[in-house]
Structure 1
Amino acid sequence: MNTNDQEVRRDERTVELVYRTTTTDIAQALRARDSHTAAGRRRRWAYPLAGTFGIGIGVLVMVAGGGVADVPLMLVTIGMGLWGTALFGPRLQARAVRGMLEKSGETRAVVDGSGVLVVLDAFESRVGWAAQPRYVETDDAFVMLSDDKQAVSMTVLPKRGIRAPGDVDRLRAVLDAHLRRL
């Protein structure tokens, strides 16, 4: 992989990761994002609540009306769909990008004082600290998040991609120096 080394400020706080992004990485990042955004937290309770309401009303109408009609069946179906989205949404979203992840191949990320340089076979992208000023640490990754209400933009840095011993702590220190930890 080629990188524009002029953009990388190599010093004792530079951390390099090499990994293949997986659907598990994306699903965990989406769950972390949902835990730390107002929209994600609302979805966690609103979808099951609306789903339960839809199922309950649909079943009541079926029982009271004595049969399965289009509207009650639709309410039950929508309610089940909302429950499914609440339980499996991040996994389903991650599976939707599986083909793209497989084609992207190996990722090289260089984290330094100016931000994160992400290099894939087909492209490279520089993410400045201002673009994603927050981060979440999970057991398996660091997830950088944009500051908008839904944190639409995110960068996943899986810990398994860290190459040198002690670099997890160095990466955490760099992120703490430039981003707000959630």
Structure 2
Amino acid sequence: MTGEQVVLEYETRRADYAEMYRLQLRKRPLGLIFRWPFVIAFGLLGAAMVVLRLLTGGGLDPLGLLIVVYAGLLRCYPALAAARLQKANAHQGTVRTTVGAEGIRKVTARAETRTEWSNYGSYAESDAVFIVRSPDRGGRCVSFLPKRGAGDPADVERLRELLDANLRRV
């Protein structure tokens, strides 16, 4: 890669993956179902079904119980998925990511990938990470760039400028 570059070096953490999922879900149309108000409303619906069935002498309502459990799983999904991804990728070791005019290059002890900007459609930012998203409407494929990997706080600003120059911010 040539020209202006930002280099990030980091070990992946479960928290990085969880933040990636949370940010991805917030930016997707169906991400609404993972937000607290929906999860609480969904859980209360299930609880009401169980209580009404118990009050009418019908025993436990299996559908109501399933809805309550499903509501809990919806809220826990980012953490559960993050744990699986961290376990699957822990063997990669230190990740060195270079972001430049041509795209993103990631190098680990076991792999090297180069991805041009045309492979991405947009990016999003949280306090901890940037995510770059695929060009499909839902941005279903994502990769994260943890801010803690920057050697200098100015690198985070330079990274934001590179992302702004090449991708649409969502």
The residue identity in structure 2 corresponding to 1:125 is T
- Deviation per CA, 1:51-83: give whole Å up to 9, x if none: 332221122112202533xxx0x2233122222
Distance 2:135 2:153 in 1: 31
Report 1:121-160 matches (<5 A).
Answer: 121-160=109-148
TM-score, length of structure 2 as denominator length:
0.89
SS of corresponding position for 2:118? coil
Identity %: 31
Instruction: Report how many aligned residue pairs link the two structures.
Output: 169
Describe the shift of the 1:154–1:104 C-alpha distance in structure 2 as closer, same or farther (beyond 3 A). same
Distance 2:16 2:114 in 1: 20
- Deviation per CA, 1:75-113: give whole Å up to 9, x if none: 233122222123221111101222123211110100011
TM-score, length of structure 1 as denominator length:
0.84
SS of corresponding position for 2:56? helix
8 Å CA contact 1:113, 1:174 repeated in 2:
yes
8 Å CA contact 1:106, 1:120 repeated in 2:
yes
Aligned to 2:8: 17
8 Å CA contact 2:48, 2:64 repeated in 1:
yes
RMSD: 1.8
Q: CA deviation at 1:47?
A: 4.7
8 Å CA contact 1:133, 1:178 repeated in 2:
no
The residue identity in structure 1 corresponding to 2:104 is V
Q: Which runs of 4+ in 1 moved over 4 A?
A: 45-48
Distance 1:66 1:80 in 2: 18
Structure 1 stretches lacking a partner, 5+ long: 1-7
Aligned to 2:51: 59
SS of corresponding position for 1:91? helix
Aligned to 1:38: 29
8 Å CA contact 1:115, 1:127 repeated in 2:
yes
8 Å CA contact 1:48, 1:82 repeated in 2:
no
Distance 1:149 1:180 in 2: 12
Aligned to 1:90: 78
Describe the shift of the 1:87–1:164 C-alpha distance in structure 2 as closer, same or farther (beyond 3 A). same
